[in-house]
Amino acid sequence: MGLLKTTLLFINQNLLKLSWLALLALLLLLFFGSWLLMFLAGEPELAAPQNWFYFFVTSATTVGYGDFSPQTTGGKLTASFLLMPGGVVVFAGFLGKLSSFFVEFWRRNMKGKGDYSALTGHIVILGWHPERTPRMIELIFGDTRRKERQVVLCATEEMDNPFPDQVLFIQGKKLCEAELLTRAGVTHADRVIIYRATDDMTLTSCLSVAALTKSAHIVAWFEQEHVVKLLQSHCPQVECHTSISMEMLVRSAQDPGSSRIQGQLLSTLIGPTQYSVKVPEDFGGVRFSRLLEFMKKQHEAIVLGVAETATGDDLVLNPNGEQRVTAGQLVYYMSAERIRTGEIRWCDIQE
């Protein structure tokens, strides 16, 4: 019994080393070889094409329904010493190799060695921070009515995917390397968020990403304002953020509770939040005051301002009531949940 177990283990381990093509060739050899022996043994019923495949599979997998069985001595010997043992070994090799493939595939993805270059319309996050990145992920998925986009997290740290149920994971030595950015699918991403340990790292990643994609909206966080100006002189399409803690500190001193308003406006997890919606390209235009009234009445939303560009550099908060809101602009509003462009009856307010 021990010898048999050792022999089967040896055969199985060596089968796992074979290529898929070699395993397939071995399976076909067993299939046609045992059929030939059954035919020569005088088993016409089993050797019939409409019966042989069924008999081979049920016998080789040891299911053996019993509706077909060899009648001759030669047929019984072929089934006993070739078909059933050979089938068990070959099928075990196939299952073992298949299991190894999926385990290796899962392990590579967990370790960040996968390739998501075929993804389109997703969000890429460059950089890992043990406290702020989880919060970032929480806020993204907290927006339950957001456009469904997959999220790819890229990091230089040697670790497993910290959010295997929510995001895809890429790991590499540098977050500015073309190979890593390509595996993350940056070229076809809709959004890229860059949050690195230092401004120099963030600047380098921004330049690398901007060189790969012209369609993705890139947002980045910096500590120092002069680095922001340097980046925007080369890549004006990147939306940059710097710390506003000092402004919030002074505002809270002058108007107590202001920090709570800012926090709620930015969080998708509590209360009304600030969102944006794009005005349809075929919209004829409307006065801001009319849009303000309509959005409050129909959607319980408060319109905050309007911008021409995605970066919001030309944002006008609380514009004059007579200012026109026209096609292609971005309207920023505060609401309990996101309102999609198609959910607004633009035709009812067009003037």
For residue 249, being part of any structural domain is answered with: no
Is the same domain home to 22 and 98? Answer: yes
Measured CA to CA, the distance from residue 176 to residue 294 in angstroms comes to: 46
Asked whether the predicted pLDDT for residue 22 surpasses 80, the reply is no
- pLDDT tens readout for residues 273-305: 999 999 999 999 999 999 999 999 999 999 999
Q: What is the DSSP letter of 341?
A: G
The pLDDT, as a whole number, for residue 118 is: 94
For residue 263, being part of any structural domain is answered with: no
- pLDDT tens readout for residues 85-103: 777 777 777 777 777 777 7
Measured CA to CA, the distance from residue 94 to residue 85 in angstroms comes to: 14
Contact 213, 186 (CB under 8 A): yes
Q: Which domain holds residue 38?
A: 2-110
Is the same domain home to 105 and 144? Answer: no
Give the total number of structural domains in the chain: 3
Band of the pLDDT at 61, cuts 50, 70, 90? Answer: confident
**pLDDT mean across residues, the chain:** 87
CATH for 178: 3.40.50.720
Identify the residue with better confidence: 261 or 18.
261
CATH for 77: 1.10.287.70
Pairing label, strands 330-335, 302-307: antiparallel
For residue 262, being part of any structural domain is answered with: no
In this structure, what token pair is assigned to residue 201? 């790292």
The pLDDT, as a whole number, for residue 339 is: 95
Is the same domain home to 157 and 215? Answer: yes
> Domain boundary at 243, 264, 284, which?
243
Is the same domain home to 131 and 236? Answer: yes
Q: What percent of the chain has pLDDT over 70?
A: 94
CATH for 296: 3.30.70.1450
- pLDDT tens readout for residues 260-270: 888 888 888 88
For residue 69, being part of any structural domain is answered with: yes
Measured CA to CA, the distance from residue 317 to residue 140 in angstroms comes to: 24
Band of the pLDDT at 254, cuts 50, 70, 90? Answer: confident
The pLDDT, as a whole number, for residue 12 is: 56
Is the same domain home to 214 and 157? Answer: yes
Asked whether the predicted pLDDT for residue 203 surpasses 90, the reply is yes
Which string of DSSP letters, residue by residue, matches 279-302?
A: PPTT---EEHHHHHHHHHHHHS-E
The pTM for the full model equals: 0.69
What's the residue count for the chain? 351
User: Would you call 260 helix, strand, or coil by DSSP?
Assistant: helix
With CA atoms as reference, report the closest residue to 68 among 87, 50, 92.
50
Asked whether the predicted pLDDT for residue 194 surpasses 70, the reply is yes
Asked whether the predicted pLDDT for residue 165 surpasses 80, the reply is yes
